[in-house]
Amino acid sequence: MHKRRLGKTNFEVSIIGFGGIPIQKVSKEEAIELIMTANKQGINFIDTARGYGKSEELIGYGIEKCGRDKFIIATKSPVRDYEGMKKEIETSLKALRTDFIDLYQLHLVRTEEQYKMVMSENGALRALKEAKSKGLIKEIGITSHDVSILGKAIETGEFATIQFPYSPVERQGEKLFERANKLDIGVIIMKPVAGGAIKNVTLSLRFIIENPNISVVIPGMDKINQVIENSSVGKDVKPLTDEERTVLMKEAEELGSEFCRRCGYCAPCPQGIDIPTQFVLEGYYLRYDLKDWAKERYQKLQYKASDCIECGQCEPKCPYNLPIRQMLKRVSKNLGDD
């Protein structure tokens, strides 16, 4: 597995890391097997979060089985205040079954108000800096879906890494990555297949690691074959051919910009609607000529797009500012709910 230096952390990380969102869906035994497979395939960087259900806990079991020295562990919390972050760090340490965490990140800083809060005297950054001075964490990072927020953050000198979405369909971060590289700040890439919307997974990963400003990309994985296939990209690094690039860019163009990345931040819906699933099934209906199959699956859902009462609670939580209520109406129309 090829490795790159994660900015000023000086961590040598596998260019393909392990994204910890989907592992929360598997059993303890399956989680251990996934982490052991990742280790065998040369993956040494694992990213998880307090907000990923049982992800930290399950990854902790796997790390314990393989050995703590085999991995560079990154986690994160959306808590914005000092006291809250102190508690989050303690919880992460226990869940991950470790005495220290290599990289702790401020998670999904979305607004200027949130940024000012975390950076304030009573903000979460202060708690992270104290934890670092005590050896509980080694480095501090920040994640966001907002280029301007990370653009400010990297100029402060407070952060060793940033985490941001990047794929053939989301390229707004390229200038940010260049600047981060000049400042010796590690760049971690999330949403490398746009939340599952991009079907040419291997091509998308190869496209991302072609960018020399990228340190590591973290596709989410919950199956052994995914670990093996994704890690292979980091073992045999080769540029895309013209034909492969054409295929990938055609898919990106067809996706457009108004699509769900399946990040799940819109949940929970008060009406019980699994919002990302509505859009996944619509995608099968519209893009993959699986109309009957998609409609059949959709009709079996307990709560469908037509159950939306337009309360709007989901939309402020979407990091992509999608018009979810309008999109759900479209799903209902396309999949025959009317």
Q: What's the 3-state SS for 199-257?
A: CCHHHHHHHHHCCCCCCEECCECCCHHHHHHHHHHHHCCCCCCHHHHHHHHHHHHHHCC
Does the pLDDT of residue 18 top 70, yes or no?
yes
pLDDT, position 337: 60
Strand partners, 73: 46
Token digits of residue 291:
């109309």
Report the alpha-carbon distance of residue 76 to residue 88 in Å, rounded.
9
Region 272-283 average pLDDT? 88
Cβ-contact 238, 203 below 8 angstroms: no
pLDDT, position 259: 80
**Residue written as tokens 């992270």?**
128
pLDDT, position 261: 77
- pLDDT digit string, tens, across residues 157-189: 999 999 999 999 989 999 999 999 999 999 999
pLDDT, position 182: 98
Report the alpha-carbon distance of residue 182 to residue 176 in Å, rounded.
10
Report the alpha-carbon distance of residue 144 to residue 109 in Å, rounded.
5
Report the alpha-carbon distance of residue 165 to residue 310 in Å, rounded.
28
Region 183-212 average pLDDT? 94
Does the pLDDT of residue 285 top 70, yes or no?
yes
Confidence of residue 298 (pLDDT cuts 50, 70, 90): very high
**Cα 109–Cα 308–Cα 52 angle in degrees, nearest 5:** 35
pLDDT, position 289: 66
**Residue written as tokens 């108000």?**
113
Does the pLDDT of residue 288 top 70, yes or no?
no
Confidence of residue 287 (pLDDT cuts 50, 70, 90): low
pLDDT, position 197: 82
The DSSP bridge pattern shows strands 3-5 and 12-14 to be: antiparallel
Comparison of pLDDT for 255 and 335, the residue scoring more:
335
Comparison of pLDDT for 281 and 219, the residue scoring more:
219
Q: What is the DSSP string of 148-210?
A: HHHHHHTTTT--SEEEEE-BTTB-TTHHHHHHHHHTT-EEEEE-TTGGGT-S-HHHHHHHHHT
Report the alpha-carbon distance of residue 128 to residue 138 in Å, rounded.
10
The percentage of residues in the chain with a pLDDT greater than 70, rounded to a whole number, is 99
Cβ-contact 46, 32 below 8 angstroms: no
Please provide the average confidence, as pLDDT, over all residues in the chain: 94
Candidates 21, 72, 16, 93; CA nearest to 261 is: 21
Confidence of residue 112 (pLDDT cuts 50, 70, 90): very high
Region 228-250 average pLDDT? 96
Region 267-271 average pLDDT? 92
Residue 94 CA: distances (Å) to CA of 61, 136, 209, 334: 11, 12, 33, 46
pTM of the model: 0.85
Q: Which domains does the chain have, with CATH numbers?
A: 3-248 (3.20.20.100), 275-334 (no CATH)
pLDDT, position 166: 96
Does the pLDDT of residue 126 top 70, yes or no?
yes
pLDDT, position 338: 52
Region 103-131 average pLDDT? 96
Confidence of residue 60 (pLDDT cuts 50, 70, 90): very high
